[in-house]
Homo-oligomer: A and B are copies of this chain.
Amino acid sequence: MKKQSFPLAKAYTLLEPGPVTLITTSHNGRHNIMTQSWHTMMEFSPPLVGCLISGNNYSFEALLKHRECVINIPTAELARQVVGIGNCSGGKIDKFTEYGLTPLPASKLAPPLIAECYASLECTVKDSRFVNKYNFFVLEVVEAWADKSVKNPRTLHHCGNGKFMIAGEHIRLASRMK
C-alpha cells in the first residue's frame, strides 16, 4: 500500500467504524505486532484513542515503558495474518518475519508502520492512569498515514471466536454529525 500523510483531524474516520487493528511496538531493539479490536475514539483534535491492551500481551510492557505504538489498519486480504498474529506471542517469534509483513520507519516513533496495511496511526501514550485498573491506555495520534486510493477499505471487524465481518457497501446521508 502506498500511504500518504493523512490529516490528523480526520484520523477518527479511520478508527470510528471499529476495525480490527495491528498494533506495533518496539522493545529491546525488536519490533512486535499484536492484533487488537478494543479501541474507541475519545477526542477529534488532537485525536485521542482509548485502547485496551491486556497485561498478558507481550506488547503491554513495551507500551508502558516506551509510551509509543503504531495502530495499523489491515484489510481483508490480511485476514490470515490478523488471526495468526493474534494467536501467538512476540516473546517467542519475530512476527514480521513469520507473517511476511514489511516494517517501514515511522516518522516520529521507534515502532514501525506495517507496509501492507492501508492506514497507520503513530501514537504516544497520553494518559496511563487507567492502566492499573482497566488495562486502558489513552493514546494521542501524533502522525497519520493512509493510502488515499483506498476509498472504501474492506476492513475486518471481529465478532468473536474467529468470526469476522468484512466492511460492506458505503452509503451517504445528509448529516450535521461530524
Chain A residues near B (Cβ < 8 Å)? 10, 12-13, 16-19, 35, 37-43, 48, 50-52, 76, 79-80, 83, 86-87, 130, 134, 136, 138, 152, 154-155, 157-178
Given the known inter-chain contacts A52-B42, A166-B170, please indicate yes or no for A177 contacting B159, CB distance below 8 A: no
Partner of A165, one of B37, B40, B162, B168: B168
The reply to whether A175 and B86 form a contact with Cβ atoms under 8 Å apart is yes
**Separation in Å of the A45 CB from the closest CB of chain B?**
13
**Separation in Å of the A59 CB from the closest CB of chain B?**
15
Nearest-neighbor residue (CB-CB) of A76 within chain B = B171
The reply to whether B165 and A170 form a contact with Cβ atoms under 8 Å apart is yes
Contacts of A134 in B (CB 8 A): 42-43, 48, 50, 138
With A76-B171, A166-B168, A167-B168 known, 18 other A-B pairs at CB within 8 A are A16-B158, A37-B41, A38-B40, A38-B42, A39-B40, A42-B136, A50-B134, A79-B173, A83-B174, A86-B177, A152-B165, A157-B157, A160-B178, A163-B171, A164-B170, A165-B167, A165-B168, A168-B169
The reply to whether B50 and A165 form a contact with Cβ atoms under 8 Å apart is no
The reply to whether A13 and B162 form a contact with Cβ atoms under 8 Å apart is no
Docked pose: A13 CA to B175 CA in angstroms: 28
Docked pose: A17 CA to B159 CA in angstroms: 6
Given the known inter-chain contacts A40-B39, A42-B52, please indicate yes or no for A178 contacting B159, CB distance below 8 A: no
Partner of A38, one of B16, B138, B152: B16
Given the known inter-chain contacts A170-B165, A171-B163, A173-B162, please indicate yes or no for A157 contacting B42, CB distance below 8 A: no
